[in-house]
Chains A and B, each alone.
Chain A
Amino acid sequence: MNEDQQQKNKRLAGKLSLSAVAMVVFAIVALPALYNLICNITGLDGRTGRIEKEQALATRPDKTRVIKIEFDANVNGDLPWEFKALTRRIEVHPGEVATVSYYAKNLSNRTIVGQAVPYVTPIKVAKYFNKTECFCFSQQKFGPGEDKEMPLRFIVDPDLPKDVNTITLSYTFFDTKQSGVEEDSAKAENATPQ
């Protein structure tokens, strides 16, 4: 092989290696960001939205429609918590602010920090289901045996597609495997799903 040829080969190899590196960056940085973006826009992963109280109160209820909302609660894996919806089912008008409560109790004798993750079905509803207050906005710290009633305040957007009459909202509590919550609650505010 002559010098020229070798130079050419090395240059091509260099370019190809760069594209490989670019693909690693794409996989680690772009793919997760893209996924989150798409999920946030479309609600494909069943995530619900979050709006300010003022905005919710300013919405005019649509008294002509009644939507049935069902509430479900689960714990993930072997998280030793009791977790349930105190209200199993309510009926609301779109545009009306409603409040329900969930109940959770730490059955173990150690402090556990949990994070609730919502899922709403049918999936296309996600865009129209907004919360002003939720225990899922931040991590929840429960001491040994501690129990709490936790409010959930939400509003269904009046633009909800006409064919939807029933919405099911499900929460799953995950163990965050952390012992304290204070130190990074600020970070959690941003990172946690709504």
Chain B
Amino acid sequence: MAWFKKKTDEKPKEKKKGIPKGLWVKCNGCEEIIYGKELELNNRVCPLCQYHFKLNVLERINLIIDENTFIEYDKNVKSDDPLSFKDLKRYEDRLKSAKEETGLEEALVSGEGKINGHDAVICVLTFDFMGGSMASVVGEKIFRAVDRAIKKRFPVIIVSASGGARMQEGILSLMQMAKTTAVLAKLGKEKLPYISILTDPTTGGVTASFASIGDVIISEPKALIGFTGARVIEQTIGQKLPEGFQRAEFLLEHGMIDMVVERKDMKKTVAQILDFFKNRQ
């Protein structure tokens, strides 16, 4: 456990939404009952079937970034309600409850840190906060983080988990796809590497923008990755989808990603790749 422990009196603020508490946990993969502690010690991967439970932002950063090296960026960039959007609930209220449930300000945390000694800028999206949807803030934080990476000559790692657009921000949400792609294109022109890590689930506008343009694209096992959600496809074509459709292994088979990497090997793999890029001209 890591960076937030710098000050011992400071408790991690982030809460674990969607992660079952208690001593015993039922695995979503094999449906066996697992001892909670064993799951924690195993990076939240089922020891029986290797099912990868979702990680929250802190757990994800701790998994990849060296202890006590993470510095968070742009914590004070927060969501507005530019459309004054109201459906069954107000957008303002949805934001408020998402903040309360997760202890986070938005769906994306950005910053810099070391990965086995390699400097890197890292952005982590979490599905826990409004489905990891693309708010203006998500785009802006990625933009600024990548911009800093360009100035510092650091590589960029983005860990994706998203249901797609933040509908409550309308067209402004859609344009974050172009904005994030634009700044990553600039990173590329500066000959700085970008590693895209896909986790369960990565869909919609995130798949159709930054998640899909990594110099290297890595996925966690069995992560759901696609543009259109399975239900919409089934409704459109009127047939059941094949087993394993839109899973990481399916994308690997179809040439859409470079590798599927188990959680326990993720940090090692990212560091290994970064080491190759150190020798670039």
Say whether A and B bind each other: no
